[in-house]
Chains A and B, each alone.
Chain A
Amino acid sequence: MNELETALRAAAATLPAPAPELDRALIERAAGEGLVDVAYATVDSPLGPLTLAGTERGLALLSYSPPEDVLERLAERLSRRVLEAPARLDEARRELDEYFEGRRHDFDLPLDWSLTRDGFGRRVLKATAAIPFGEVGTYTSVATKAGSPRAVRAAGNALGANPLPVVVPCHRVLRSGGGLGGYTGGLDKKEQLLRLEGVVI
């Protein structure tokens, strides 16, 4: 039988691999049938490649990390039906492009807050989302707006865990003394975003 099995194996290796169009058609149909719970895509930006992920509710994640570093978390927290479906993120991509080109000051995207537990942390992020383009707040001011003026460190932690940087502009939150504070993607990105918005540091 060995000769035959060798022939089968050799012949199988020459069988065609599935064409990329098949995946595209599959994902289009899956999305149409409501089977893609989490769609993700990689987009280019002046800050480097960004990973975007969204659900039916809206944009849930913007990350400076590549997809392979965030998919497990998305699967764990949102749904295991995670697929690369860039078309579903076209709106987010367009608004981000406009923002980076200086043509957009506010995001109109629906957001899915599921990756942030409901409570103080989410209130901090919502307070941060209300800081207008080109202006800055402090850790104390967002903690206060979130209802706990003295929970400054907790506010810092909530911002550090922001699943939607740029869109929820945690880069606009600085130390009370004027220091930059921290930033998930690295302080250079925080400075770059503030400069883009015309904030003099």
Chain B
Amino acid sequence: MKPPPFQALLDAHRTDVYRFLVASVGPTDADDCFQETWIAALRAYPRLKSADNLRGWLLRIAQHKAIDSHRARSRRPRPASDSLPEQTAPAEADGRPELWAAVRKLPEKQRAAVFCRSVLGMPYAELAKLLESSQDAARRNVYEGLKTLREEWTR
């Protein structure tokens, strides 16, 4: 099967991509990452030969953009007061800001693994491709991520 018209791809996956990014980088940076993700997808689209696992393909791009954004953020000078809070979202913007703040503190792969597995219900084969790792490593990332979160959460 060939990849669908790009608009169909955008319509089908825009919400998953955006929520993945809000969970990964927070609502403030998610908008930029969203645009960067889809622009990168558009650039690569003519070379994409198969319609297999398009969601995994898009989320892998989103994961790279989220990592770029984290790096850029950590390079940005901190204000003198040094109290740069974990991105403070408007309260109604995401239902559980403290939960996502904990997710955002996880290592990159665990963060993506937890979101894709627990929220999107992604099969491990798809998750492994997204993480560019083995299925066992994908499983470990989900397990370790959830373990850390539970410790934070029940504390």
Residues of A within 8 A of B (CB): 1, 4-5, 7-18, 22-23, 25-26, 29-30, 33, 35-36, 40, 67, 71-72, 74-76, 79-84
Contacts and interface: CB of A to CB of B under 8 A. Distances in A.
B95 A11 contact: yes
Given A26-B35, A82-B6, A83-B7, A8 B99 contact: yes
Contacts of A11: 94-96, 99-100
B149 A83 contact: no
Nearest to A70: B5
Given A12-B119, A22-B35, 15 more contacts: A9-B118, A10-B95, A12-B19, A12-B115, A15-B23, A16-B94, A22-B34, A23-B14, A29-B39, A67-B7, A76-B2, A80-B3, A81-B6, A81-B45, A84-B7
18 contacts: A8-B99, A8-B118, A11-B95, A11-B96, A15-B22, A15-B95, A16-B18, A17-B15, A17-B19, A26-B39, A30-B39, A74-B5, A75-B2, A76-B2, A80-B2, A80-B3, A80-B4, A83-B7
Interface in B1-52: 2-8, 10, 14-15, 17-19, 22-23, 27, 31, 34-35, 38-39, 42-43, 45-46
B23 A12 contact: yes
A29 B22 CA distance: 21
B59 interface: no
A201 B94 CA distance: 63
Nearest to B31: A22
Contacts of A81: 6, 42, 45-46
Contacts of A9: 118-119
A7 B23 CA distance: 14
B8 A16 contact: no
A75 B5 contact: yes
Given A15-B23, A15-B95, A22-B34, A4 B39 contact: no
B6 A80 contact: yes
Contacts of B100: 11, 15
Instruction: Pick the 6 closest A-B CB pairs, nearest first.
Output: A14-B95, A11-B96, A18-B18, A82-B5, A75-B5, A71-B5
